[in-house]
Amino acid sequence: MKKWIGLAVVLFFAGRVMAFDLNVNDAVKKVNTDDAMKKAGDAATDSAMAEITKKLKNVQNEHGPIIFKNGKATLEVKKCEETLKAIHRIVHDYPGFLVQVEGHTDNKGKAAKNMELSQKRAEAVVAYLVNTMKTDASRLKAKGFGDTVPIADNKTAKGREKNRRVDFSVTKL
């Protein structure tokens, strides 16, 4: 009788260990599946982020640059309204992303003034999109870079013109 009880106890605990082992394996499989799904989701998100970034960077080539009054942060809306509308549509069509509107200047004038002007210009674009186009304010951020990130040579008029720009960068919310 004791042998049977001992055997029953051993089988009982063996079953428990086996069940525990199965539960651990199931948990590991779930974690691996969750990781794979997260990676796939991240890849899809990265792909969408790359797509929205490309669209925002191309919008000024397609519809024209964002234009301001000379030396000011006042938008020349009539000259760039189609561009601003296109930017609004892109931001609206890609929820889940934060779009940073980036103001840049050439190197003429004092660096501090250029930084201030570039920030005010980025803020002007954000304000127009939010107030006029009704773009979700939580999806936009303004950042001025002054003359710190040139894309062309500031020694030529054409280079300085290219450096006076509004650009965009995109991150996940």
- Residue-wise pLDDT for 61-116, tens only, equals 999 999 999 899 999 999 999 999 999 999 999 999 999 999 999 999 999 999 99
Report the pLDDT value the prediction gives residue 140, as an integer from 0 to 100: 98
* All domains of the chain in start order, with CATH: 50-172 (3.30.1330.60)
The answer to whether residue 7 scores a pLDDT higher than 90 is: no
Distance CA 26, CA 171 (A): 35
Report the pLDDT value the prediction gives residue 45, as an integer from 0 to 100: 83
Q: Is the dihedral of CA 67, 163, 167, 104 positive or negative?
A: negative
Distance CA 48, CA 144 (A): 25
pTM attached to this predicted model: 0.76
Between 134 and 17, residue with greater pLDDT: 134
Distance CA 107, CA 167 (A): 17
HEC profile of 61-100:
HHHCCCCECCCCCCECHHHHHHHHHHHHHHHHHCCCEEEE
| Mean pLDDT for the stretch of residues 120-136 | 98
| Mean pLDDT for the stretch of residues 125-131 | 98
Contact 35, 88 (CB under 8 A): no
Q: Is 169 helix (H, G, I), strand (E, B) or coil?
A: strand
Residue closest to 123 by CA, chosen among 105, 96, 100: 100
Distance CA 162, CA 147 (A): 11
Q: What percent of the chain has pLDDT over 90?
A: 69
Residues 6+ apart with CB under 8 A from 94: 48, 51, 52
Contact 12, 130 (CB under 8 A): no
